């Protein structure tokens, strides 16, 4: 079994239900060990869209990293995600943040996720469930101290 961390986000429709349904679908092949709280976050990049609801999970899976990517993309398709513009609105987005201690760089997959350290909407919920984690030689706390201005609110 491989330990994985996934980021989930949505900003269309019933956001909480979208995340819960994605978790249900993920649980078919991922043992979910920990779930962060839900976080409402402002859009990054393209600003003229609804705010997001994001979360991070820690899990275990027998899937290879490539098969996990394929599985996550199939869930996005099943939930009818439509890619419009870069960083645009979406019903669900599932990103692989970490896969064991592996560093992977292929045409379709880079692990650790290449932009995770720049995104409070990933690092804040990751810190909630794995505060002692080291990412690319840096503690999560150290990474989070560099964030300025990105609005993120923990939801009940």
Which residue in 95, 100, 115, 154 is the catalytic one?
A: 95
116, 73, 101: which is closest to 2 by C-alpha?
101
Check which CATH number belongs to the domain holding 84 and give it.
3.30.70.560
Whether 87 shows a pLDDT value over 80: the answer reads no
| Cα distances (angstroms) measured from residue 15 to each of 4, 79, 107 | 23, 12, 30
Active site annotation includes 154: no
Print the domain residue range for 95: 2-154
Active site annotation includes 95: yes
Q: Which residues pair with 32 in a beta bridge?
A: 59
Per-residue pLDDT, 6:
98
Per-residue pLDDT, 28:
97
Global pTM value? 0.91
Strand pairing report for 104-105 and 152-154? unpaired
Counted domains in the chain: 1
pLDDT tens digits for range 10-56: 999 999 999 999 999 999 999 999 999 999 988 876 677 889 999 99
Which residue in 48, 81, 119, 132 is the catalytic one?
A: 81
Active site annotation includes 90: yes
Active site annotation includes 48: no
């Amino acid at each position: 079994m491989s330990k994985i961390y996934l980021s989930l986000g949505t900003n269309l429709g019933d956001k909480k239900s979208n995340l819960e349904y994605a978790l249900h679908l993920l649980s078919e092949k991922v043992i979910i060990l920990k779930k962060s709280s839900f976080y409402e976050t402002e859009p990054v990049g393209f600003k003229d869209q609804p705010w997001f609801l994001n979360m991070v999970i820690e899990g275990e899976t027998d899937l290879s990293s490539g098969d996990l990517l394929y599985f996550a993309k199939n869930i996005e398709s099943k939930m009818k995600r439509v890619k419009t513009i870069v960083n645009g609105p979406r019903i669900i987005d599932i990103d692989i943040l970490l896969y064991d201690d592996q560093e992977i760089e292929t045409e379709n997959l880079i692990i650790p996720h290449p932009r995770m350290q720049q995104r409070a909407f990933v690092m804040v919920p990751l810190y909630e469930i794995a505060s002692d984690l080291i990412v690319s030689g840096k503690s999560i706390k150290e990474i989070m101290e560099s964030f300025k201005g990105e609005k993120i609110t923990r939801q009940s």
